[in-house]
Amino acid sequence: MTSSHSPVHPVRHWLGILAVFLRLGLTSFGGPVAHLGYFREAFVTRRGWLDERGFADLVALSQFLPGPASSQVGLGIGFARGGIPGAIAAWLGFTLPSAVALAAFGYGLAALGGAEAQPWLHGLKVVAVAVVAQAVWGMARRLTPDVPRVSVAVAAAIGVLMWPSSLGQVVVIILGALAGRLVLPQPDVPRASPIGLRAGRTTGAAALLTFAVLLLGLPLAAEAIPAQTLRVADAFYRAGSLVFGGGHVVLPLLQSAVVTPGWVTQEHFLAGYGAAQAIPGPLVSFAAFLGTVMTVPPQGWLGAALCLVAIYVPSFLLIIGMLPFWEVLRRIHTVQSALLGVNAAVVGLLLAALYDPVWRSAIRSPMDFALALAAFTLLVFWRVPPWLVVLLTAAGGTVSAFLPLG
């Protein structure tokens, strides 16, 4: 009798994880910080899947690693609850609603044809200015609170503007880590406490080895084999591997990956990024939109699936790989100080992206600047929900097209 029931229980268990995260994926507006609040309420307070200490340590680990922090916390909770299938169920539930919505938006743009001329679409590009400015504002206050870290951020911005490429961004992040180790003051290392999540060291080491092999091997394979699918997988995997500081930092990495080689137009890129602010769930689902609107195959739903999976695979491998080793790493001063430098550098990376491509592509008149300023004020000071600011700015873009200054 036991054997007849054993196959059913895990499936129901994983379906339960999927259901909870699907509800969150449909309702979690507000960005990564808000997502963490929803997760705490759902999994610590209401269901007791983790205690406060385990949740806090999982958040700390996710902020330490590259990748979208809120998604990685969700992966960790799913992994703790149901192993690797549980992590997959958590990811699917939290990510699919926003990914499907953005892919559908991409199809809508393609159906419109000549959408670049639509005034509401220009409004979406303008709202991207306000959203990125808000991200720079918030991250700078948190991650560059002193003169040395402000200096690292400014140097990083200058470096990326002078060397606008994926390689330039990687070099800037590495130099930021070096600056953190050599220049920045030693941080206070938090008191160690058990993370409350179990993962075997053999599994962790295998996941980290797979991460490194893909990070180094995909570019070589894409160079040796002239297949566009491989090039796309490499570009999005690399972007997912280098997103320090939150989902907004993926903007310059993806812009360099898909706009520079001509896979996605600048207009569609910024319009999709603006639209991504209006939906619940993780911002990194923006990858699904990019896969849908690519001018080269794979495109459509196939392209959306490829880009979405490729950008999230690093998060899977890093969370599962680092869990067994987190207690040791968190006590190493060198690692912590290098991370301070990396965080300051990504503020500079996002500051450079605010100028190019976001500002240069969207702000073309005094009315555009006024619209972006109003959207920024609503987001930062009035705390208006991002989805509502997106709708208002798209409407403002339409109205401004008929005004003398538009």
Asked if the structure places residue 286 within a domain, the reply is yes
Q: Look at residue 292 and tell me whether its pLDDT is greater than 70.
A: yes
Short-list 124, 78, 86, CA closest to 105: 124
Label residue 278 by pLDDT band (50, 70, 90).
confident
Domain count, the chain: 1
* 312 close to 295: Cβ distance less than 8 angstroms: no
Query: What does pTM read for this prediction?
Result: 0.82
In tens, the pLDDT along 198-220 reads: 567 888 899 999 999 999 999 99
pLDDT of res. 390: 83
Establish if 380 belongs to a structural domain: yes
Contact at 8 Å (CB) between 326 and 57? yes
Mean pLDDT, range 215-239, rounded to an integer: 93
Query: Residue 246's pLDDT is what?
Result: 62
Burial of 297 (0-12, 13-18, 19+ CB in 10 A): exposed
In our burial notation (b when 16+ CB lie closer than 10 A, e otherwise), range 5-44 reads eeeeeeeebbeebbebbbebbbebbebbeebbebbbebbb
Asked if the model's pLDDT at residue 6 lies above 60, the reply is: no
Which of 29-33, 188-192, 271-275 has the lowest average pLDDT? 188-192
CA distance 3 to 40: 35
- Are 139 and 246 in contact by the 8 Å Cβ rule? The answer is yes
Residue 27 is assigned to a structural domain of this protein: yes
Domain contains 15: yes
- Residue 342 falls inside a structural domain: yes
Give pLDDT, residue 116. 52
- Give the Cα separation of 237 and 13 in Å (integer): 30
Residue 3's pLDDT is what? Answer: 39
How confident is the model at residue 195, as a pLDDT?
Answer: 52
307 neighbors 290 (Cβ within 8 angstroms): yes
155 within some domain: yes
Sign of CA dihedral 162, 166, 171, 173: positive
Range of the domain at 216: 8-400
How many other C-beta atoms can be found within 10 angstroms of the C-beta atom of residue 98? 24
Residue 3 in any domain: the answer is no
Mean residue pLDDT across the chain? 84
Task: Say if 405 falls within a structural domain.
Answer: no
Confidence band (pLDDT; 50, 70, 90) for 11? low
- Range picked from 16-30, 111-125, 318-332 for highest mean pLDDT: 16-30
pLDDT tens digits for range 64-121: 788 888 899 999 999 888 888 999 999 999 999 999 999 999 998 877 765 555 677 7
